[in-house]
Amino acid sequence: MNTLAFSATIAAASFCAGFLGSLTGLGGGFIVTPLLTLVFGADIRYAIGASLISIIATSSGAAAAYVKEGFTNLRVGMVLEIATVVGALIGASLVAVFPTRALTVTFGTMLLVSAYLTTRPRPEQQSADLVPDRMAARLHLDSEYPTSEGPSRYSVRNVPGGFALMWLAGVLSGLLGIGSGAVKVLAMDQVMHLPFKVSTATSNFMIGVTAAASAGVYLRHGYVDPGLAMPVMLGVLAGSMVGARLLFGARTARLRLLFAVVIVVIALEMIYHGAFGRG
Amino acid sequence: MSTRPTHEQDVRVQQAVGNLLRAGVLLAALVVLAGGVLFLLRHGGEVPDYRVFHGEPVDLRGFAGIVRDAFSGSGRGLVQLGLLLLVATPVARVAFTAIAFAYERDRTYVLVALLVLSLLLKSLAG
């Protein structure tokens, strides 16, 4: 296979990665990394570099639309970014002392459990008699998002719990280099009780910042190859822009199912890499 | 504590941040596309091999080298410059959010954005 055909194949697969990644808030790394390593036999370091680029491209490509349409909760995203970036800094400094393989298997198993949790339907809006969250009120986190019946208001629950889980998501992504989008969506959906579309759009908004924080390091170490990253970036970007157009009309129950399926794939990949080594 | 922001203020910040993201991404994509076309015209017929990790040449690892390569007409250099623009987009977004909230006099969120920005710059530098 010559470089032209190779680039076209990667661009097509990356389109799917961007499409799924933008709808689920998970980024497209879970498709790009195994494609490059298992199918094309690329060294894992080149794959990690390309996968980081794919996450930033998914995030920024879809975020422009989600932010403008009002799906993304900018304030929630920014408050939680403090937790993830601090966590990522700590995680990256712990890589040398932690048994990352065992941790990857454990984390993968936890994700399998949470995939089940997300498929249970939950009312998209809480009953109005619930006591408002004090932190959410102080930080003006409550907001509204577009639905087919017009703007729908929602309030944010358990900000300290979400913040703590987000910090853990940051530590894990710094430590393992993967899986941070999954914990972000779970924290916002299961702990802070945001509407599901707001959770995926806000996660999508945040993963770009988390990935950009590590991209500098990988670029300096020579992991980012332009020949590989070019088709990945262009394919993912196109896919994420198409995906972002579909979020408004998508049924939440279907999105939850899609999210759960992707989480299972990510979990199995993590367990596989943890058990058999990822180079 | 600042007063509750109006919906109109929030919408203005959203539009501004959304426009910045779109501009950053499109600019990065155009540069990558231009570099990609050059790269494929010159090397499209070769057989790629990424099995063994060599690491990128020093030129393509740092800002100065990438800019030099890009302006000397290297396809790979141009792609790498576009990727730098892509990585810079979320960082610029955080800085820009601080400005947008300052414009709306939302002091709490100016502080939040500046805190995220300083942490982010620390990890990019480290």
List, for residues A114-156, the tens digit of each pLDDT value.
787 777 766 655 555 566 688 888 888 888 899 888 898 898 9
CB contact under 8 A, B15 and A221: no
Average pLDDT, chain A: 86
Long-range contacts from A248-257, C-beta under 8 angstroms, 24+ separation: A248/A69, A248/A71, A248/A146, A248/A148, A249/A148, A250/A23, A250/A197, A252/A124, A252/A195, A252/A196, A252/A197, A253/A121, A255/A23, A255/A24, A255/A196, A255/A197, A255/A200, A256/A118, A256/A119, A256/A121, A256/A196, A257/A119
Rounded to a whole number of angstroms, the CA Rg of chain A reads 18
- Say how far apart CA B4 and CA B114 lie, in whole Å: 20
Q: Which two tokens stand for residue A158?
A: 């358990």
pTM listed for this prediction: 0.89
Residue A45 touches chain B, beta carbons under 8 Å: yes
By CA distance, what is A211's nearest residue in B? B87
Residue A53 pLDDT exceeds 80 = yes
Nearest to A184 by CA among A79, A51, A57: A79
Q: What residues are paired with A143 via a beta bridge? A: A154
Q: Which of B21, B56, B77 sits opposite A67 (nearest CB)?
A: B21
Query: Mind telling me how many Å the CA of A121 is from chain B's nearest CA?
Result: 29
Q: What residues are paired with A145 via a beta bridge? A: A152
Q: Which of A56, A68, A82 sits opposite B115 (nearest CB)?
A: A82
Stretch (H or E) spanning A151? strand A150-154
Stretch (H or E) spanning B63? helix B63-71
Question: What's residue B3's pLDDT?
Answer: 61
Residue B67 pLDDT exceeds 70 = yes
Give residue limits of the domains in chain A.
3-276
End-to-end CA distance of chain B: 34
Question: What residues of A are in contact with residue B107 (Cβ under 8 Å)?
Answer: none
Question: What residues of A are in contact with residue B105 (Cβ under 8 Å)?
Answer: none
Average pLDDT, chain B: 88
Return the SS3 of B87.
helix
Could you say which residues from 145 to 204 on chain A have a Cβ atom under 8 Å away from some Cβ of chain B? Answer: none
